Amino acid sequence: ELKVEQNPLFLSMQEGKNYTIYCNYSTTSDRLYWYRQDPGKSLESLFVLLSNGAVKQEGRLMASLDTKARLSTLHITAAVHDLSATYFCAVDMGNNAGNMLTFGGGTRLMVKP
């Protein structure tokens, strides 16, 4: 059974600081997704990582994937309040019929002014 673990589960940080969220998973996969969820809202896709060594950046967020270590990271650079949300990673064990996502427990990020 695939297990996906995120840490930390909760992160409080000051604006302007850097931090990294970690996503470890238990079974080989080379497809991993990062999502953002604001309170009371649905999930918004942030990054799609489809190969070992994949790195993607959007604004202050950068995601990477190491399939050998079964690890993905989401790095936050110079955090701002607008980044406050819950971040989820999800590992895909699907096939051509569709995605089979297993989600991590989420990291609730709070950025303080």
Partner 1 sequence: ETGVTQTPRHLVMGMTNKKSLKCEQHLGHNAMYWYKQSAKKPLELMFVYSLEERVENNSVPSRFSPECPNSSHLFLHLHTLQPEDSALYLCASSQGAGGLSEQYFGPGTRLTVT
Interacting residue ranges for partner 1, rule: CB under 8 A? 4, 31, 33, 35, 41-45, 48, 50, 88, 90, 92, 94, 96-106
Taking the complex as a whole, the smallest distance from the CB of residue 101 to partner 1 amounts, in Å, to: 6
Taking the complex as a whole, the smallest distance from the CB of residue 72 to partner 1 amounts, in Å, to: 14
Taking the complex as a whole, the smallest distance from the CB of residue 93 to partner 1 amounts, in Å, to: 10
Q: In the complex with partner 1, which residue's Cβ is closer, 46 or 79?
A: 46
In terms of Cβ atoms closer than 10 Å to its own Cβ (0-12, 13-18, 19+), residue 45 is exposed
Taking the complex as a whole, the smallest distance from the CB of residue 13 to partner 1 amounts, in Å, to: 23
Q: In the complex with partner 1, which residue's Cβ is closer, 43 or 110?
A: 43
Centroid of chain to Cα 45: 10
106: left (phi over 0), alpha (psi -120 to 50) or beta: left
Query: How far apart, in whole angstroms, are the C-alpha atoms of residue 28 and residue 25?
Result: 8
* Geometric angle at alpha carbon 12, from 37 and 72, rounded to 5°: 60
Q: In the complex with partner 1, which residue's Cβ is closer, 79 or 89?
A: 89
